[in-house]
Structure 1
Amino acid sequence: MKKLIMAGASLAVIPALLLAGCSQEATTQDQEPKSKEKSEVSSDEQAATSPEPASQPSYQAIEPTEAAQPLESHYSETQLAEMPITEAHGDDTKRSVPLGQTLEKGTEDETDGPLQKNRIVSYYGHPSSTSIGILGEYSPEELMEKLKEQTKAYSELDPERPAIPAIELIASVAQRTPGDEGHYVHPTSAEDIEKYAELAEENDALLILDVQLGQDSIMNEVKALEKYLKMPNVHLAIDTEFHVKEGQIPGEDLGHVDGEKVQEAIDYVSNLASENGLPDKVVIVHQFADIIISNKEAIQPTENVEVVLNNDGHGIAALKRSGYHQLVHNQPIQYGGFKVFYQKDEPVMTPEEVLELDPAPAFVNYQ
């Protein structure tokens, strides 16, 4: 996905090349995903109003080796002293939270979600394209091998917060033609979603379903994924920059969302978790410029959902750090995320450099 560096305080990066259309036909999603069967209950139990207990999480962090050292031991005293300066670029250089802390200053996490004690490291993309992420570059087996290797690097670097591998699959791909529904978005086939859901489950990993929206509403795209979001290891990501108005085209016009619309999706996922006895969920909100999300203060975590504001976009490392400072550090919601582009960043930041950020990203995704 091509992105252009913008001048000014809003870092960044404008998507310009989208997947013009996948080769496969969109598959009707009429096959129920695998889920745990519920046991029979008595009539008294059926009448109870309390939600059923949450099922157990199905992921497994990649544990560090016994030789792994604490995060701070990987940096010199000079590096530790200069970390806030290199990120702030003239702004306040004092760290908001201690090195390695992922929860943003002044925020809380009331869930039992995966980010309480772990970090998530994900690979992003679509299996039908090599231009919009790493998923299209490798077979599923090769992908998992590389993902686990990248994830282990974070566990070794920060053994107090071992990392969980995750696949971030684009479930609806923004495109430059209207498509059958006229929404400028192409749905990923049920076959592909189920294949990667099974791959994640077999490898104790998470599956994150990413929606790119086009001219459709957030809720329409999220509700189309409900049966997958009811699976214990499936979570949600929203690509805000791809949401355009009628008369606009994704990739040619910069998208925009209202924070209240994002919150509707968060509350929807939260209710799914609560009402279906699911493990607590994560919702990732992608952003790379302030103007893309208005009313951001409306975006809040719930008792069942952890929220990540993910700093997106490729380019010069110094600008990426500055963007994270502006969009995550300066506008705390709960957790920060950071995207790394293997082929388009200048240079590609190492895990050590990523974890210098303030706060340390709880979610790191690779494209």
Structure 2
Amino acid sequence: MIFSKSFHLLVLSALLAGGCQSRSAQETAQSDPNTSAEAAPETSNTKLAVTKDTAITTAAATTAATAGKELTPLDSLRMMAPKVPDPILPDRRILAYYGNPHSKKMGVLGEYPKDEMLRRLDREAENWRKADPSKPIQKALHLVSITAQGAPGKDGKYRLRMSDYTIRKVIKWAAEHNAICFLDVQVGLSTLQQELPYLEKYLTLPYVHLGIDPEFSMKTGARPGTKIGTYDAADINYAVNFLSRIKQEHNLPTKILVVHRFTQRMVTNYKNIKLNPNVQIVMHMDGWGEPVLKRDSYRDYIKKEMVQYTGFKLFYHNDVKKAPHHLMTAEEVLTEDPKPIYIQYQ
């Protein structure tokens, strides 16, 4: 819908400009030659340096010492796994905070300091629990781990991969808060085939799941932010099969794939999306605006083209910009049929 497209292009343009203009906001480059440090998301920090990962707990370190081996940061995160059911859906409703810790513009996850952000997540979870006591809430952090960029970068892919340090940091936040974590991918001019292997080691963690955003999949070669991108069923099936393989190889709980959508063309040939017992698919309504427009988007692009489970996004700031300046409540969202099982706040 027009309201969704206009907003997403506007916000992306502002974000990309901020990222390109501020070298003080650069995330330390990785060894990966495809990374563009100059296009990192903006941050309020005057200097951002990668330090030694602090995820290793005392218990984990003791276990490692007893076993006579060095504990890696990924090992420590695996030992911190929150206790969640398998599968999570449909018995629980997921409530996620979205964004990137280096940007106050990308969403609530990075808008506030960590402790305040998590307190807000807890309060929101309680609102949803009261609105539907029959459905326990599973809290989540949804990190944009590969971000679309306004500059091409060294390889011309118009995307930036977050560093290991940043990804581990947000996963650790989730684990410490008994929450699951989603790693979101905006491929730019790259592809899922090129980008998902970068995240594979994190997806071997039992509480880490995946999100993919067609808006920034620029199959025509256009620069991100100038047009709305698209994924075909074949792309979504690739992501599902990628997760399924990881789940089977590592004997993990059922994985979840969130697919963003707010226009017809963002997902093509949806009837060809294949369900997989190892992966739960959430088609997620990603549009902003007044309640009537959000409901229209949900019914037109999610309900009419049902795949498996449904999601609904709420924007703390942009949903209230226009009359009636009202952020939908949990009770209002739950009047939709089917009731969304994945709720995301940006």
TM tier, shorter chain?
0.7 to 0.9
Q: Which amino acid aligns with 1:173?
A: T
Aligned mates of 1:4, 1:256 — CA distance in 2: 16
Give the equivalent residue in structure 2 for 1:263. 237
Give the equivalent residue in structure 2 for 1:319. 293
Q: CA deviation at 1:131?
A: 1.2
Q: Which amino acid aligns with 1:216?
A: S
Kept in 2, the 8 Å contact 1:281–1:305? The answer is: yes
Instruction: Specify the SS of the correspondent of 1:307.
Output: strand
* Counterpart check, 1:207 vs 2:210: no
Going from structure 1 to structure 2, the CA distance change for 1:145 and 1:355 (only over 3 Å counts) comes to same
Instruction: Specify the SS of the correspondent of 1:345.
Output: helix
Q: Which amino acid aligns with 1:16?
A: L
Q: CA deviation at 1:362?
A: 0.5
Give the equivalent residue in structure 1 for 2:41. none
* Counterpart check, 1:351 vs 2:330: yes
Kept in 1, the 8 Å contact 2:244–2:255? The answer is: yes
Give the equivalent residue in structure 1 for 2:253. 279
Q: CA deviation at 1:251?
A: 0.8
Match of 1:178 among 145, 152, 157: 152
Instruction: Specify the SS of the correspondent of 1:225.
Output: helix
Going from structure 1 to structure 2, the CA distance change for 1:353 and 1:231 (only over 3 Å counts) comes to same
- Gap runs ≥5 in structure 2: 20-24, 33-51, 68-77, 321-325
Which digits, 9 at most, give the CA deviation of each residue in 1:193-252, with x for residues without a partner? 101111111111011000011001012221110000000110000011101135411111
Give the equivalent residue in structure 2 for 1:24. 27
Going from structure 1 to structure 2, the CA distance change for 1:180 and 1:348 (only over 3 Å counts) comes to same
Aligned mates of 1:116, 1:178 — CA distance in 2: 40
Q: Which amino acid aligns with 2:9?
A: P
Q: Which amino acid aligns with 2:188?
A: G
Aligned mates of 1:14, 1:154 — CA distance in 2: 26
Matches within 5 A, 1:286-365: 286-346=260-320, 347-365=326-344
- What is the RMSD of the two structures over their aligned residues, measured on CA atoms? 2.8
Q: CA deviation at 1:135?
A: 1.6
* Counterpart check, 1:15 vs 2:37: no
Kept in 2, the 8 Å contact 1:185–1:212? The answer is: yes
Q: CA deviation at 1:182?
A: 1.3
Aligned mates of 2:266, 2:300 — CA distance in 1: 14
Instruction: Specify the SS of the correspondent of 1:159.
Output: coil
Which digits, 9 at most, give the CA deviation of each residue in 1:172-211, with x for residues without a partner? 1101110122110111121111011111111110110000
Q: CA deviation at 1:113?
A: 1.7
Instruction: Specify the SS of the correspondent of 1:151.
Output: helix
Give the equivalent residue in structure 2 for 1:164. 138
Q: Please identify, of 190-199 and 13-22, the stretch whose mean Cα deviation from structure 2 is larger.
A: 13-22
Q: CA deviation at 1:149?
A: 1.3
Aligned mates of 2:126, 2:208 — CA distance in 1: 21
More helix by proportion, 1 or 2?
Answer: 2
Aligned mates of 1:25, 1:12 — CA distance in 2: 32
Which digits, 9 at most, give the CA deviation of each residue in 1:2-48, with x for residues without a partner? x9516xxxx8864333232362133348x9998x99xx9xxxxxxxx
Aligned mates of 1:209, 1:330 — CA distance in 2: 27
Over 6 Å off, 4+ runs: 31-34
Instruction: Specify the SS of the correspondent of 1:122.
Output: strand
Give the equivalent residue in structure 1 for 2:163. 189
Instruction: Specify the SS of the correspondent of 2:211.
Output: strand
Aligned mates of 2:271, 2:82 — CA distance in 1: 31
Q: Which amino acid aligns with 1:222?
A: L
Give the equivalent residue in structure 2 for 1:146. 120
Kept in 2, the 8 Å contact 1:4–1:14? The answer is: no
Give the equivalent residue in structure 1 for 2:37. none
Aligned mates of 2:121, 2:213 — CA distance in 1: 21
Q: CA deviation at 1:57?
A: 11
Using CA pairs under 8 Å that are at least 6 residues apart, name the structure with larger relative contact order, 1 or 2. Answer: 1
Kept in 2, the 8 Å contact 1:312–1:338? The answer is: yes
Instruction: Specify the SS of the correspondent of 2:289.
Output: coil
Give the equivalent residue in structure 2 for 1:83. none
Q: CA deviation at 1:329?
A: 1.4
Sequence identity percentage = 35
Q: Please identify, of 260-269 and 246-255, the stretch whose mean Cα deviation from structure 2 is larger.
A: 246-255
Aligned mates of 1:56, 1:275 — CA distance in 2: 18
TM normalised by structure 2 equals: 0.79
Kept in 2, the 8 Å contact 1:288–1:312? The answer is: yes
Give the equivalent residue in structure 2 for 1:251. 225
Going from structure 1 to structure 2, the CA distance change for 1:198 and 1:28 (only over 3 Å counts) comes to farther
Kept in 1, the 8 Å contact 2:157–2:188? The answer is: yes
- Gap runs ≥5 in structure 1: 41-54, 62-110
TM normalised by structure 1 equals: 0.75
Give the equivalent residue in structure 1 for 2:192. 218
